[in-house]
Structure 1
């Protein structure tokens, strides 16, 4: 697994190859996750790129690792790891909201929500902020206080960001 990750690139085909290989066995997946969650590992960002694709295709495989994921979330600093991690949060939020989806514990929800709010107010790239907004919107269906917080944050800084961010912000504000 290490060699596959080490030789991978940011190209979609390369990330898909690694994610498919990871989904072939528990050992491969465990190694991918171990590398992704080791922020000092030279390939931790590359591993997160492929982990995002694993979670997009087969989120249930990620369930045993959610607690560890919640621990690592606030420690992520590199934009290239923050974006896929925030997207994974969005996948978890959407699944948690659906019947027959993944059921997060209260602690897991709290940790993810706290991290998403932090990402939204910190100086992050637009993509991470958009995924954070979308995930928080879903969590807001369960926790109504989130909508007030989200409304406040989005209203304050929407015009400081790109057109893509503004479009997403407008869309979420309409739904709230």
Structure 2
């Protein structure tokens, strides 16, 4: 399948879980599609990029190790995504990555995620925390930053400051997640 054909296919991706999973499995079964999928995802001014982000998120949710050859590309460009419908899945992929890397179970990411990748994730997550993003992106970013903060001691003070500063102005969902993260940080 060419990039143009994949682009056409992405027009049929919708919000249903089954639909996104169908296309994610198509990409998992055809790993050569990941490169064009990322190219479409990072064509940030095109509305179809959001659909590519949804498929990429589901692909990573099903088979996270599929991202390993593309970590450089993903982390290098993820900060440029700005459409709400694309920021949420990209921030979710960051959460997947950090959960796998800092989790107790063995994962291939533990040997492939570099300092540079982590720095890019930290940068993007802090940007999503301080910018006017939807709650989901902020919630995924909180988790990612909390996990990475186990390794980088400067993250918790910065994250705490942002969470406490924004707490009163945010939604109930933000407050609930922020409470959980702050409680974990204070342990």
Tell me the CA shift for residue 40 of structure 1: 3.7
- The match for 1:149 among 145, 151, 158 is 158
- 1:18-57 correspondence to structure 2 within 5 Å: 18-57=23-62
Tell me the CA shift for residue 27 of structure 1: 1.8
Coordinate RMSD, CA, aligned: 1.3
CA contact (8 A) 2:92 2:137 kept: yes
Between 28-37 and 156-165, the greater mean CA deviation after superposition = 28-37
Alignment match, 1:94: 99
Q: How many residues align?
A: 176
- 1:116-135 correspondence to structure 2 within 5 Å: 116-135=125-144
Q: Does 1:77 align with 2:86?
A: no
Alignment match, 2:16: 11
Q: Deviations over 1:127-175 (max 9, x none)?
A: 1000000110110111121111111100000121111110000111111
In 2: Cα distance, 1:143 partner to 1:83 partner: 24
Q: Deviations over 1:86-111 (max 9, x none)?
A: 01011111111135221311111011
Q: Does 1:109 align with 2:118?
A: yes
In 2: Cα distance, 1:143 partner to 1:70 partner: 18
TM-score if structure 1 supplies the norm length?
0.94
Q: Which runs of 5+ in 1 are unaligned?
A: none
Q: Which runs of 5+ in 2 are unaligned?
A: 1-5
Q: Secondary structure at the match of 2:29?
A: coil
Shift in CA distance, 42/170, structure 1 to aligned 2, threshold 3 Å: closer
